[in-house]
Structure formats: C-alpha cells, structure tokens
Amino acid sequence: MPSLETLRESFAIADHVTFEYGPGDLIFAQVDNAHASARLALYGAHVTAYQPKGQAPVIFTSQASRYEAGAAIRGGIPICWPWFAAHPSDSGKPSHGFARITPWTLAETQALPNGATQLRFDLSDNADSRALWPHAFGLSYTVTVGNSLMVDLAIHNREAEAITYTGALHSYFHVGDVRQIHIEGLDGLDYLDKVRGMNRFTQAGVVRFDQEVDRIYLSTTAETVLHDPVLERTVHVAKRGSHSTVVWNPWAEKSQAMADMMDAGYVSMVCIETANAAENAVNIPAGDTAHLGAEIWLA
C-alpha cells in the first residue's frame, strides 16, 4: 500500500485530485473540479460520494458504515465481483465477492480537456484471491467525475480457458424519501424476487416502494430513471455490458437489524445496480476482456 505522500507526489492534480486519510485510516481520493465533487476509497476502489455542483448528493453512504479491513463500506458503489450475493456453493466465502473488500492500486489520474477528472484503479489475482476464486484475472476500474459519473470495470481473463462471473456495480442512491420515488425502465421485465423465495414475477409499470424490495430484473440492457419528487430531480442510470438490473431497499426492520445502517437509513436510499446476476452470468473467453459500466447523471 503506497503512503499518502507517495500518492500525493504521483497522482495529485491541482484543482482536481487530493488525497487524505478518512474514517478507519483508509486513504481517500477527493475529487473537486468545475463540474462536481466525488470521493473514492482505495479500499475496494469504492466511490463513496458524487455531487454535481449546486445539487444534493447523488450517492448515499450510510452514516453508520464500518471502515475496516474485511468489511464492505455500506453505501457508495461497492464493486461486487466475481460473484453476486452469496457464493453459490460456499457460504463461508464473502458475500458479493472479494473485490469490494480488497485494496486496489491507483494506476492513473488525469484532468480531461472538458474539465472532468478521471481515475483508474487496478486489481490482479494474488494468493488471497486465488484461495477464494482460482483464476488469473486483471481488473481495471475507470471512474470519470464530470457532469455525469462514469464507472467502467474492465475484466481481463488471463486464463487459457473461459471464466464465468456474476457481479454488480451496487450503486446506492441518495433520495428525498424512498416512499415517494418511483423507478422507470423495468416495465414488462421478468425478475427474481428475493423477498418471495427467489420466485419469478413480471414487472407491471413503474417500481414503487412501500416495503422491502430485493429483485434481480433479468435480461435487460435498458436505462433506468429514478424519479424523486422530494429532491425535484431525476437520476438516470445507463449501462454497458450489463444484462441484469438489481433494485434493493431493505425497509425498516432490516435497516434496524443492520449494524452499519441507521434505523431510518432506508428512507433516504435506494440501490439500482448495474449487474450480471443469476441466469445473466457472463462467460469471458480465454484472453478476452469484458466490461461492466454505468453512467449516472441528473436531469
């Protein structure tokens, strides 16, 4: 893990990127440019904040989040990879894979001509990852902070045979009041409902929230639009290389049961996840690179 000094010397850019210690003594990159601000932990290459100038925060991060080795930050954009949710055959392995609980290497920062800031983080297999998932891989995560937030995970298969992954960019959005929002873009899709025994249903109309929602919408590449009448805005989420969209809100009881959520935390968040889950698992041929990406903007 490089020191704060090394990061500052190699990657700080005036009017774009600084580095500092945050909670749990984790190192964060703080982005402030003409368009927006954002915050990223090197631990998990985890975006924990994104806020266009003059707007309320777009991303939700729990005030009760843990910031410690082995635990995932609650909120932001956890990178769930190489498996989504519980490991399919070994419940002793970490939920949502190991990428979100592993320190990544900052490889590059750049000020773009349009005033946006770009950061790239890398992660390759090592003895720890191979003990959990026996494959050679190279991940490269590019985050572009501007009028929109773009995140792109490039997944390079370094094996001599195909690999299969499931995963998600598990984005948590800050909302005025989840009981008043709705999500457009999922009408007519089949989904697996975790709240109802992973049974399959078909979405009719927009998605609204009056109880726990935990669904994998299947075989969709469509953009979703989050309508927030309290914050008087819409949040658009467009996807790349993603064939599932996961929608999650834990509601009251689960929020209270989660040590890293405030009791009423569920009211001001919703997850819309750019995913490849269940039957949308992705096969990457030997030597190939697949992408999983999202662009998020306000209107």
Output the smallest distance, CB 196 to ligand TA6, in A.
13
> In this chain, which residue has its C-beta nearest to ligand TA6?
95
87 lies in the binding site for ligand TA6 (CB under 6 A): no
* Catalytic pick among 273, 279, 291, 295: 273
User: C-alpha distances in angstroms, 125 versus 71, 108, 253?
Assistant: 19, 19, 38
30 lies in the binding site for ligand TA6 (CB under 6 A): no
* Catalytic pick among 35, 46, 170, 174: 170
Q: Which is nearer to ligand TA6, 72 or 298 (CB)?
A: 72
239 lies in the binding site for ligand TA6 (CB under 6 A): no
Q: Are 125 and 158 in contact (CB under 8 A)?
A: yes
Output the smallest distance, CB 214 to ligand TA6, in A.
5
Q: Are 224 and 217 in contact (CB under 8 A)?
A: no
273 lies in the binding site for ligand TA6 (CB under 6 A): yes
* Whether residue 170 lies in the annotated active site: yes
Strand order in the sheet with 105-111: 105-111, 117-124, 137-145, 149-157, 289-298, 233-240, 224-228, 182-184
Q: Are 29 and 19 in contact (CB under 8 A)?
A: yes
Output the smallest distance, CB 167 to ligand TA6, in A.
11
* Whether residue 227 lies in the annotated active site: no
Q: Which is nearer to ligand TA6, 194 or 233 (CB)?
A: 194
- Print the binding letters for residues 188-227 with ligand TA6: x by CB under 6 A, - otherwise: ------x-------------------x-------------
Q: Are 249 and 271 in contact (CB under 8 A)?
A: yes
- Print the binding letters for residues 103-142 with ligand TA6: x by CB under 6 A, - otherwise: ----------------------------------------
97 lies in the binding site for ligand TA6 (CB under 6 A): no
Q: Which is nearer to ligand TA6, 11 or 209 (CB)?
A: 209
Output the smallest distance, CB 132 to ligand TA6, in A.
15
Rounded Cα distance between 297 and 299, Å, is 7
Binding-site ranges for ligand TA6 (CB under 6 A): 72, 85, 95-96, 170, 194, 214, 246, 248, 271, 273
Kindly list the catalytic residues.
170, 273
